[in-house]
Amino acid sequence: MTDEAGATVTPYDDGPLLVRGDFALVTPDGEPIETRRGTIALCRCGKSASKPFCDGTHKAIGFRTGRPDDAGPANPGPARRAAS
Amino acid sequence: MKLPSERGPASAALIDALRRPPHDLPDAPATRIGDDEDLQLVLYVCYELHYRGFDEVDDRWEWQPSVLRLRAAAEERFEAALRSRVAAHPPVPADAVPRALAALVAADDGPPLAAFLQRHATLEQFREFVVHRSVYHLKEADPHTWGIPRLGGRAKAALVEIQADEYGGGRADRMHAELFRTLMAGLGLDPTYGAHVDAVPAVTLATGNVISMFGLNRRLRGALLGHLAAFEMTSSLPNRRYGNGLRRLGAAPATTRFFDEHVEADAVHEQIAAVDLCGSFVAAEPDQAAEVLFGAGCALALDGAAAAHLLDRWRSAPLRAEAA
């Protein structure tokens, strides 16, 4: 996947950008931003409280990346919960 | 770890037998499985033989045929209960799997445990929550690892990518189970593997047992992957609330790190799990789509039931139902 490029950036539907491979994340001043894992998720919805990283908030705000087949919020699935 | 205390006829017969050299378990009625407490403890003990085992138990019990027969009977009952509890999902094509998983998660109306822990829980209630979670988190990621040799290609690479991160990317101090031990120690709880099994009810044991059942039965591999996806997709936002709740109670950064780490880690994992793992798996095995979604439904149902149990116990506290 990263044979040609040093790193890959993958935009996931309705979600963040995942960065894999050999990359450095830096501030506008060139200072390194610590990344604690090999694959990181960068915020794309603008609402993460952990920017530049994704913290899952895109789900809470219904962020959509606008695929052609988008028709609004996801439909509820059929899973149900027994009384507990 | 030590053998846990019995909870019914089958767990009593099993635990008693395990203290001695491997031999055939007596047949029914001694090994007839009782209520859910008995059932889930039997499963827990049978599965633990495949993980770390027990201090006083001969390792050869792991593959003793009569123990495997008892486990199969217990699994048959557990799986039947799950099949009737989680409605079958219609099959979907591989490229629709991530959206179908997201829809299941969005439709889930789990109890507001995270909101309660963030805003209202006392330190004692938080400690109880951590004790309950310890039964799984001290072996965090291990049950899903059983899936790795059962996959190929892109799905396998995706599962390894997630699991490697769960295990700290090769650094023992970053393993999630180790971060959980630090959390427990910071709260003055015994972080020894298996220390709190006797303190948690069947509804909590079931949350871990279901992953072991999916992981140890190759035919349930689709459900295993769907479970992992639902697990990861319902993690980032609650973990932020857990961390904030613990900070409200005055915990040190080292103690909250387990939760803080999961906010970022699981925001990565959920994409990999839904798209690269489950999507690729269903592309390779199209007839497994419904099983993937069944596994996701099981994760949501069982984790919700365990959360409801804790909230019910704390009912006297000033609980306001708020969206988690």
Under the banding of pLDDT at 50, 70 and 90, the label for residue A2 is: very low
Q: How does pLDDT run across A5-27, given as a tens digit for each residue?
A: 699 999 999 999 999 999 999 99
Residue B3 placed within a domain? no
Q: What is the distance between the alpha carbons of residues B271 and B105, in angstroms, rounded to a whole number?
A: 13
For chain A, which domains are there?
A: 1-65 (3.40.5.90)
What is the least distance, in Å, from the CA of A30 to any CA of chain B? 22
Predicted TM-score (pTM) of the model is 0.91
Residue B240 and residue B94 share a domain: yes
In this prediction, residue B29 carries a pLDDT of 64
Task: Name which of B82, B159, B178, B268 to mutate to probe chain A: the one with the most chain A Cβ atoms within 10 A of its Cβ.
Answer: B268
The partner residue sitting opposite B271, judged by closest CB among A18, A60, A82, is: A18
Q: Over 70: is that where the pLDDT of A71 sits?
A: no
Direct distance between the N- and C-terminal alpha carbons of chain A, in angstroms, rounded to an integer:
46
> Which positions in chain A touch B275 (Cβ < 8 Å)?
12-13
Residue B99 and residue B16 share a domain: no
As for how many domains chain B has, the answer is 2
**Range of B161's domain?**
89-313
List phi, psi (to 5°) of A19: -115, 125
Residue B235 and residue B147 share a domain: yes
Report the CATH number that the domain containing residue B288 is assigned in CATH.
1.20.910.10
Tokens of A9: 């950036």
Instruction: For strands A7-11 and A40-42, give the pairing.
Output: unpaired
| CA A15 to the chain's CA centroid | 4
Residue B305 and residue B238 share a domain: yes
Q: Over 90: is that where the pLDDT of B158 sits?
A: yes
Q: How does pLDDT run across B247-260, given as a tens digit for each residue?
A: 999 999 999 999 99
Do A55 and B267 count as a contact with CB atoms less than 8 A apart?
A: yes
Residue B196 and residue B51 share a domain: no
The partner residue sitting opposite A41, judged by closest CB among B86, B237, B268, is: B268
Q: What is the mean pLDDT of chain B?
A: 95
Count of residues making up chain A: 84
State which residue of chain A sits closest to B309, comparing Cα positions: A84
* Short-list B217, B201, B211, CA closest to B72: B217
